[in-house]
Structure 1
């Protein structure tokens, strides 16, 4: 895919941020005001963990001067106490399909001894990032979003702490770990994870709220950076 724009202001950069989204429409509200954030570049990767990993690898190989990665997008939610449109900060994300089947059981990549599937952000300014204005939750990353009641129950049993599912989040955390770059993942809840029913989804609201949270996050980070 491509970097949509690069924002600079007289070469006076307070900090450099790479904002990552799967699709342009998930980031469109921010793009309309992005000129006010000269410290930010935006990257549209395409949908899915493979496209996201490739694009991040390509861009970060070309330019490793970023201070932080922010992943913005929509996601499905397992927790019905959170309303549609709520934005959460995903503080850890997991590749739940990475492993092997053993008849009815699933063996994770950790159990197989070939790596790990769960990732958190590297430290930012010496500590974990916990945005004070958003709830912190755990995520899962999948190639196929869930819409079957039996598989949803199985996922809820295997990963009871998981709140949000997406198709890209863990790939961003993976790239952040490899490059030692802090990661913030913002997910606007567009739907509950249930038998597929698009009539109950609210993608525009999830996008609007996640982009508002993105702007709030940038303002918060820049304020923290100014205090150094």
Structure 2
């Protein structure tokens, strides 16, 4: 089955290709589309318009929420959420749905999430399953991390592309998954604590473990 993998940057693409190399001719098509939901939506739509795919996977590294997805773990999204799409008011944040202007989230196919999750765990990968939040501005304070965790119970990861990829996939009627490996904790920016090379190696390991498992 043809699989499309969308990454934001070249390092993520290379990590995915390193893990999927063992798949042989069944390996996915992997495209790098740039950072942020707009670039992700446009790049994914362009790829889907050029070829027929049975599944789209947004893959990359991300921040993990404390107590849910520690640094070095892998996150599989059961829901992809546009966490900052809405309005900021004196009474707090109002999501796009409550404004009546569309949807701010996509639910992943539960059977596919279970199947893929089982394959990852069988390979000994530390896995968290939960909402993946898409933001246009990465969280850099403890206060915002706490606010997001309160608004989205069980939130596992924060990235910048998932909702864009999901929007394009939905427009083409193709199932979508978001798979992230955690390089840092969501919260105050501490570059010294980031583990980007480790997260990229974890991404390679995750795709190596998924040979034959990405079936909608």
TM-score by shorter chain over 0.5 = yes
Q: Determine if the alignment matches structure 1 residue 108 to structure 2 residue 101.
A: no
Q: d(CA) in 1 for partners of 2:163 and 2:157?
A: 12
Aligned ranges 1:69-148 → 2 under 5 Å: 69-80=56-67, 82-121=69-108, 127-130=111-114, 131=116, 132=118, 133=121, 134-148=127-141
1:31 aligns with 2:17: yes
Mapped contact 1:53–1:172 kept (Cα < 8 A): yes
Whether 2:193 is the aligned partner of 1:209: answer no
The answer as to whether partners of 2:36 and 2:160 remain within 8 angstroms in 1 is yes
Deviation at 1:216, TM superposition (A): 1.5
> C-alpha root-mean-square deviation of aligned residues, in Å?
2.0
Contact 2:82-2:134 at 8 Å conserved across structures: yes
Corresponding residue pairs, total = 205
What is the CA distance between 1:215 and its match in structure 2? 2.3
SS at match of 1:129: helix
Equivalent residue number for residue 166 of structure 2: 173
> Which is further off, 37-46 or 15-24?
37-46
Structure 2: 5+ residue stretches without partners: 122-126
Indicate how the Cα distance of structure 1 residues 151 and 82 shifts in structure 2: closer, same or farther if over 3 A, else same: closer
Deviation readout 1:58-104 (Å, 9 max, x if unpaired): 111122x1111111101111133543111121121111111112223
Structure 1: runs of 5+ lacking an equivalent = 1-14
Q: Deviations over 1:1-42 (max 9, x none)?
A: xxxxxxxxxxxxxx1011111011012133346374323211
Structure-2-length-normalised TM-score? 0.86
What is the CA deviation profile of residues 181-222 of structure 1, one whole-angstrom value per residue up to 9, with x for unaligned ones?
A: 12221110101112110111101111111121122223323x
Partners of 1:158 and 1:121 lie apart in 2 by 19
- 1:54: which partner in 2? 42
1:42 aligns with 2:33: no
